[in-house]
Amino acid sequence: MKVAWAGSREAFQVSDRMAKLVANDPVFEKFSKPMLGRKELFKNTLRKAAYAWKLINDLRLTEEEAKWLRHYIDEPNYTDLHWEMFVPAIEGQGTKEQKKKWLPLAQTMQIIGTYAQTELGHGSNVQGLETTATFDRQTDEFVMHSPTLTSSKWWPGGMAKVATHAIVYARLIIDGLFHGVHGFIVQLRSLEDHSPLPGLTLGDIGMKFGHGTYNTMDNGVLRFDHVRIPRNQMLMRVSQVTKEGKYAQSDVPRQLLYGTMVSVRQTIVADASKALSRAVCIATRYSVVRRQFGSRNGGPETQVIDYKTQQSRLFPLLASAYAFRFVGEWLKSLYIDVKQRLEANDFSTLPETHACTAGLKALTTAATADGIEECRKLCGGHGYLISSGLPELFAFYVPACSYEGENVVMMLQVARFLVKTVSNLGYKQPVGTAAYLGRVTPLLQNNCAVQTAEDWLNPDAILEAFEARAARMVIGCGERLAMFENPEEGFAELSIDLVEASLAHCQLITVSVFIQKLNHEIPGNGVKRSLEVLCYVYALFLLHKHQGDFLATGYLTPKQASLANEQLRTLYSKVRPNAIAFVDSFNHMDHYLCSVLGRYDGNVYPKLYEAAWKDPLNDSDIVDGIQQYVQPILKQKLHYAKL
Ligand SMILES: CC/C=C\C/C=C\C/C=C\C/C=C\C/C=C\C/C=C\C=C\C(=O)SCCNC(=O)CCNC(=O)[C@H](O)C(C)(C)COP(=O)(O)OP(=O)(O)OC[C@H]1O[C@@H](n2cnc3c(N)ncnc32)[C@H](O)[C@@H]1OP(=O)(O)O
Ligand SMILES: Cc1cc2nc3c(=O)[nH]c(=O)nc-3n(C[C@H](O)[C@H](O)[C@H](O)COP(=O)(O)OP(=O)(O)OC[C@H]3O[C@@H](n4cnc5c(N)ncnc54)[C@H](O)[C@@H]3O)c2cc1C
C-alpha cells in the first residue's frame, strides 16, 4: 500500500530517504517553533533554508529529492516562491534569450526571485492591476510605477526581506495606450549588501493567522517610484515591444501569461493529499488509543474509533486523502503533457487543463481545510493543543483556499469552460474530462437501475450516477442561461448554480480517476481490494452528502439514495480493521507529523504529559506578573460590591 500511495517503488524510496534525512538532522527540529517570537522564527527559517541548500549541493540531490527535502522540512519560506513561481514564470513566459540569461542565475540561486502579482486593491481580478510599466523610447526602458496606494504589491512571499528579484505584473503602456497586463523581471535589492534599490519601498505585511507556520514567510509590500528597467526585462514570449516602441503579439495565446498559475495550482492539488493524510493519520491513530464509555465489569472502555459516528466522520476523510493523492497524480501527468505541448506551440489542451487545475485546486483545498478541522474535533479537547499538531497544520493550510485563485473564483472559471462546452455541443464533440457531456441524451433520459444496497458496489453504477448528476446540472444551467439576452448578466445571475454544477463536474473527475486507478495500476490483490473499499466510501460519501443534487435532478429515487447510505455504513465496518494500516501507508514519520496524538508507537498520554512541561510557563512555579498583578488582588480583601 505504501507503494500504491507513493505511485511507484522508486517514488516511495526517494520520499522515504528524504523524510529520514530531515527527521534525523537536529537542524530541522521544529517542536519548539510555536514558542518563538516572529524575528527568531524568521531567522530560524533562514538558517534551515540555507542549510537545506547546502545539503542539496553537498549531496548532489536531484530536483525530485530536493522537492521532498523542502517538503519534509515543513516550513514555508522564500525558496517556495523562487522554485515554484519565479523560475517557472521565466521558463513559461521568457524568450530563448531571456531563459538563457536568467535561468542559470536563478537555478544556482545567485539571484532569488518572487512572484509579485497581487496588489492591495486587486488579487482575483488580474486585469484590474494598477501598477504601470510605461515604455520610454528615449532610453529603451520601462518605467515601473505605483500610482495609487491600492496599486502597492501586497502578499508576494519572500519579497519583504529576502528576494533580490521579482516577476512583477503591471499594465503595459506605450504612447499612452494600454496593452494589457504583462510580466517584468525587476531587481529589488543590491546583490552586494541586500539593501532595497533606489525608488523602491519594501516591507513585511504583518503577522498572519496561526503562529509558527506561515509567519516563517516574509510576505511583502512593494511600491515603485518611477523605477527604470531595461526593455529586455519584459517577459516577451507572448508579446514583444521593439526598441521603436512597437507592440506585437506572437501566435502564442495571451492566456499563457497565466501559465505559472496553472503550474502551481497543479502542485497545490498534488499537495492537498499530503496535508489531509497528515491530519487523518493523527486522528486515526489517536482514535484507536482514546477510549470513552462502554466499560463492562471493570474492563477497558470502548476505543472511540469503534463508534459508528466517529467512523462516519473519519473514514470519508481517509478515503478523500487517497482520492486526492490519485487525482493529484493524474493531474500532474495531464500538466506534463500540456507543458510539452505548449513548448511545441500546441495550445489545444490548455483550456481543459486550466479548468481542471482551477476546479480541482478549489475542490481539494476546500475539502482538505475542512477535513483538518474535522480531524481536530475528532481528537476532542486534546486536538486543540498545539502539541496535537493539528492547529498549526490548519493555520498553515487554510490560506490555500484563497491563494493561487480564490476557490469560488476558480469554480466560476470551470463554469465558463462547461458553459462554452455545452454551447458548442452541436458542432464540437467534447473530449477528455468533458467527454460525458457528449452523451447527454442517455444521461438525461436514463435513470438509476440500483435495486439493492449491494448494487452500489459497482463502478459503472457509481460513474453513471456522477455523470448524470453533473450533466443534468450543467445542461440545466446552460438552458437557463440561454433565456438571458445578455450572457454576462445571465452568468452573474446564475453564478450560485454554476458553482454547484462545477463542483459536481470536479467530483466526477475525482471519482472517475479513483476508479481508473483501480482498473489499471494497483499491484497486489489485497491492496487492490482494500482500495476498492476506500473508493466506494469516497463515492458513496459524496453521493450521500450531495444527495439533494442527485434527487433534484431526478436521477435517483429517495429509496436508491437511502440504499447508498446503507451500503456506506456497511463499508465503514470493512475499513475499520485496516484503518491503522491505511494511515501507516502514508509513511509519515513522527518528525513530520509533529504530533503527540499521532505518534507511531501510540504512547500518547505519557508524551502529552511530558510535552506540557516543556511550556515556558512551567519553567518556574511563580512566573513573572504574579507578584505584581495577582498578589495585590489576593491581599486587598475587597468585596466587588464595594468597588
Ligand atoms: C509547509 C510548506 C513547506 C514546503 C513547501 C515545499 C514545496 C512547495 C511546493 C509547492 C508550493 C505549492 C504551493 C504554494 C504555496 C504557497 C502559496 C504561495 C504563493 C501564492 C502565490 C499566489 O497566490 S500568486 C497570485 C495568484 N493569483 C491568482 O490566482 C489570481 C486569480 N485570477 C485569475 O487567475 C484570473 O484573473 C481569472 C482567471 C480569475 C480571470 O481572468 P481575466 O483576465 O479576467 O480573464 P477571463 O476573461 O476570465 O479569461 C480570459 C480567458 O483566459 C482563460 N484563462 C484564465 N486563466 C487562465 C489560465 N491560468 N490558463 C489558461 N487560460 C486561462 C479563461 O478561461 C478565458 O478563456 P476564454 O476561452 O473563455 O476566453
Ligand atoms: C498566504 C498567502 C500567500 C500569497 N502569496 C502570494 C504571492 O506570492 N504572490 C502574489 O502575487 N499573491 C499572493 N497571494 C495573494 C493571493 O493570490 C490572493 O489573495 C488571491 O488570489 C485572492 O485574491 P483576493 O485577495 O483579491 O480575493 P478577493 O477576490 O478580494 O476575494 C474576496 C471575496 O470576493 C469573492 N469574489 C471575488 N471575485 C468574485 C467574482 N468574480 N465572483 C464572485 N465572487 C467573487 C471571493 O470569492 C471572496 O469571497 C497570497 C495570499 C495568501 C493568503
Q: What is the DSSP string of 279-324?
A: HHHHHHHHHHH-EES---TT---EEGGGSHHHHHHHHHHHHHHHHH
- The answer to whether residue 69 is domain-embedded is no
* CATH number of the domain to which 550 belongs: 1.20.140.10
Of the residues 560, 584, 608, the one at which a domain ends: 584
- Is 91 assigned a catalytic role? no
- The answer to whether residue 76 is domain-embedded is no
Is the predicted pLDDT of residue 153 greater than 60, yes or no?
A: yes
pLDDT digits (tens, 9 = 90+) for 418-467: 999 999 999 899 999 999 999 999 999 999 999 999 999 999 999 999 99
CA–centroid distance, residue 175 to ligand 1 (Å)? 29
Residue 188 belongs to domain spanning: 89-250
- Residue 285: how many other CB atoms lie within 10 Å: 26
- The answer to whether residue 502 is domain-embedded is yes
- The answer to whether residue 140 is domain-embedded is yes
CA–centroid distance, residue 410 to ligand 2 (Å)? 10
Give the nearest ligand 2 atom to 85 CA: 8
Average pLDDT, rounded, for the chain: 96
What confidence score (pLDDT) does residue 642 get? 53
Of the residues 210, 233, 250, the one at which a domain ends: 250
Q: How far apart are CA 100 and CA 113, in angstroms?
A: 16
Q: Are residues 498 and 526 in the same domain?
A: yes
Q: Are residues 246 and 265 in the same domain?
A: no
Protein residue whose Cα sits closest to atom 40 of ligand 2: 409
Q: Are residues 225 and 353 in the same domain?
A: no
Q: Which of 455, 431, 403, 408 is nearest to 570 (CA)?
A: 455
Phi, psi of 438 (to 5 degrees): -80, -10
CA–centroid distance, residue 469 to ligand 2 (Å)? 30
Q: Are residues 446 and 495 in the same domain?
A: yes
Confidence of residue 297 (pLDDT cuts 50, 70, 90): confident
What confidence score (pLDDT) does residue 640 get? 65
Q: Are residues 110 and 169 in the same domain?
A: yes
pLDDT digits (tens, 9 = 90+) for 33-51: 888 999 999 999 999 999 9
Q: Judging by DSSP bridges, how do beta strands 165-174 and 177-187 pair with one another?
A: antiparallel
Cβ of 393 closer than 6 Å to ligand 1, yes or no, is no
Is the predicted pLDDT of residue 30 greater than 70, yes or no?
A: yes
Cβ of 94 closer than 6 Å to ligand 1, yes or no, is no
Q: Which of 85, 284, 252 is nearest to 167 (CA)?
A: 85
Of 329, 352, 374, 404, catalytic:
404
**For the residues 29-34, what does the mean pLDDT come to?**
87
Q: Are residues 436 and 479 in the same domain?
A: yes
* Residue 288 and residue 580 in contact, taking contact as beta carbons nearer than 8 Å: yes
CA–centroid distance, residue 431 to ligand 2 (Å)? 31
Q: Are residues 328 and 447 in the same domain?
A: yes
**For the residues 246-268, what does the mean pLDDT come to?**
93
Q: How far apart are CA 572 and CA 420, in angstroms?
A: 40
ipTM over 0.85: yes
Burial string for 599-623 (b: 16+ CB within 10 Å, else e) reads beeeebeebbeeeeeeeeeeeeeee
Protein residue whose Cα sits closest to atom 24 of ligand 1: 404
Is the predicted pLDDT of residue 641 greater than 60, yes or no?
A: no
- CB proximity list for 6: less than 8 A, separation 6 or greater: 12, 15, 587
Is the predicted pLDDT of residue 591 greater than 60, yes or no?
A: yes
**For the residues 241-250, what does the mean pLDDT come to?**
95
CA–centroid distance, residue 268 to ligand 2 (Å)? 15
Return the ligand number nearest the Cα of 402.
2
- The answer to whether residue 540 is domain-embedded is yes
What confidence score (pLDDT) does residue 524 get? 83
Give the chain's largest Cα–Cα span. Answer: 93
Q: How far apart are CA 638 and CA 514, in angstroms?
A: 68
Calculate the CA dihedral of residues 144, 148, 151, 155 and round it to 10 degrees. 110
Confidence of residue 583 (pLDDT cuts 50, 70, 90): very high
Pocket lining for ligand 2, CB < 6 angstroms: 81, 115-118, 123-124, 155-157, 214, 219, 399, 402-406, 408-409, 412
What value, to the nearest 5°, has the Cα angle with vertex 411 and ends 410 and 416? 95
Protein residue whose Cα sits closest to atom 47 of ligand 2: 408
Q: Are residues 239 and 355 in the same domain?
A: no
Q: Are residues 265 and 246 in the same domain?
A: no
> What's 248's DSSP letter?
E
Confidence of residue 636 (pLDDT cuts 50, 70, 90): confident
Q: Are residues 272 and 242 in the same domain?
A: no
- The answer to whether residue 615 is domain-embedded is no
* Residue 167 and residue 235 in contact, taking contact as beta carbons nearer than 8 Å: yes
CA–centroid distance, residue 388 to ligand 2 (Å)? 30
- The answer to whether residue 592 is domain-embedded is no
Return the ligand number nearest the Cα of 89.
1
Q: What total of structural domains would you count in the chain?
A: 2
* CATH number of the domain to which 204 belongs: 2.40.110.10
**For the residues 405-418, what does the mean pLDDT come to?**
98
Return the ligand number nearest the Cα of 404.
1
Protein residue whose Cα sits closest to atom 5 of ligand 1: 71
- The answer to whether residue 312 is domain-embedded is yes
- Cell numbers given for 292: 470513552
What confidence score (pLDDT) does residue 295 get? 85
Cβ of 264 closer than 6 Å to ligand 1, yes or no, is yes
Q: Are residues 213 and 306 in the same domain?
A: no
Q: How far apart are CA 266 and CA 329, in angstroms?
A: 9
* Residue 432 and residue 337 in contact, taking contact as beta carbons nearer than 8 Å: no
Is the predicted pLDDT of residue 643 greater than 70, yes or no?
A: no
Q: How far apart are CA 591 and CA 127, in angstroms?
A: 43
What confidence score (pLDDT) does residue 342 get? 87
Of the residues 224, 250, 276, the one at which a domain ends: 250
Tell me which of 333 and 32 has the higher pLDDT. Answer: 333
Q: Are residues 266 and 228 in the same domain?
A: no
**Residue of 409, 414, 491 best suited for mutating to test ligand 2, as the one with most atoms within 8 Å of CB:** 409
